[in-house]
């Protein structure tokens, strides 16, 4: 019987990715695998941030053998400009042949705005179809994951996200979390065939300030309820590069996972 912990993920960037940013109180030195073990989660989403890490990724992946599942970015965050011209798709597929716990490729900050202010993808729908085909046809089939923010829930996004297997759903600003139930319902209406995983920020990055602990608790507990109900397939906690800053949300999260992680779904 699967345990709750098996459905929990951490979002990982290389150590120090957010240092000096977002109003964080100190510099972090925690690496992705350290972050996963620190809060007691066996699954990692490893995402390029600011063009780091650069391929080949083999040396980065070695310590990740201690984890159950890893999803690696084929498209890094918006500051990873090298991915505007070329994805890391081939590198991730090659990596998965050497590391059997790698189960998919994810696209971060996929949506952007064109010259007229319209929301568009960093790659076209046809290109996404090819990404999905390449991942599905790999020697060991891999899934295509994508990031979707609650403020992008428009019909224009549907053709892009229909090509994806898993949608990670995020609320960028903590002030918008009271609308989480309504927004997730709308996302699932727009994309009824896709699987959803709930993204939970441990810091209010959108406002550059701490996440209120009661707000963070409610989001995690609501996500656990949805997991038990089958509305989402998992929860993601962001990010490993702040987990060593003794933030109250992270320390509460460690205890919460320790308490509920081994319960059956």
- 265 part of a folded domain: no
* C-beta of residue 238 within 8 angstroms of C-beta of residue 201: yes
Residue ranges of the chain with per-residue pLDDT less than 70: none
Confidence at residue 115, expressed as pLDDT on a 0 to 100 scale: 87
- 124 part of a folded domain: yes
- 186 part of a folded domain: yes
Q: What is the CATH number of the domain that holds 191?
A: 3.20.20.80
Which residues are within 8 A (CB) of 196 and not within 5 positions of it... i.e. 6 or more apart? 166, 167, 168, 169, 184, 187, 188, 231, 232, 233
Confidence at residue 70, expressed as pLDDT on a 0 to 100 scale: 99
Which residues are within 8 A (CB) of 136 and not within 5 positions of it... i.e. 6 or more apart? 142, 144
Rounded CA-CA distance 118/115 in Å is: 7
Residue 215 lies in domain: 4-260
- 35 part of a folded domain: yes
Instruction: Identify the helix (H) or strand (E) that includes residue 120.
Output: strand 119-121
Confidence at residue 1, expressed as pLDDT on a 0 to 100 scale: 82
Report pLDDT digits (tens) over 219-240. 999 999 999 999 999 999 999 9
């Amino acid at each position: 019987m699967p345990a709750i912990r098996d459905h929990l993920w951490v979002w990982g960037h290389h150590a120090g990715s957010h240092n000096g940013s977002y109003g964080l109180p100190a510099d972090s030195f925690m690496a992705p695998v350290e972050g996963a073990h620190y809060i007691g989660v066996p699954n990692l989403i490893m995402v390029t941030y600011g063009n780091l890490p650069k391929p080949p990724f083999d040396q980065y992946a070695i310590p990740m053998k201690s984890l159950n599942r890893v999803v690696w970015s084929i498209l890094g965050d918006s500051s990873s400009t090298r991915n505007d011209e070329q994805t890391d798709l081939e590198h991730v597929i090659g990596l998965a042949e050497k590391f059997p716990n790698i189960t998919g490729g994810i696209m971060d900050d996929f949506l952007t705005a064109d010259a007229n202010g319209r929301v568009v993808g960093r790659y076209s729908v046809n290109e996404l179809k090819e990404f999905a085909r390449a991942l599905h046809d790999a020697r060991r089939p891999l899934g295509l994951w994508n990031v979707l923010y609650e403020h992008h829930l428009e019909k224009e996004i549907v053709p892009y996200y229909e090509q994806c297997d898993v949608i990670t759903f995020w609320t960028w600003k903590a002030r918008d979390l009271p609308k989480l139930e309504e927004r997730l319902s709308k996302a699932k209406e727009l994309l009824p065939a896709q699987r959803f995983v709930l993204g939970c920020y441990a810091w209010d990055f959108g406002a550059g300030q701490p996440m209120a602990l009661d707000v963070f608790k409610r989001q995690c507990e609501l996500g656990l309820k949805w997991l038990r109900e089958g509305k989402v397939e998992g929860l993601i906690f962001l990010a490993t590069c702040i987990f060593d800053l003794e933030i109250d949300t992270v320390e509460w999260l460690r205890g919460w996972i320790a308490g509920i992680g081994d319960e059956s779904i």
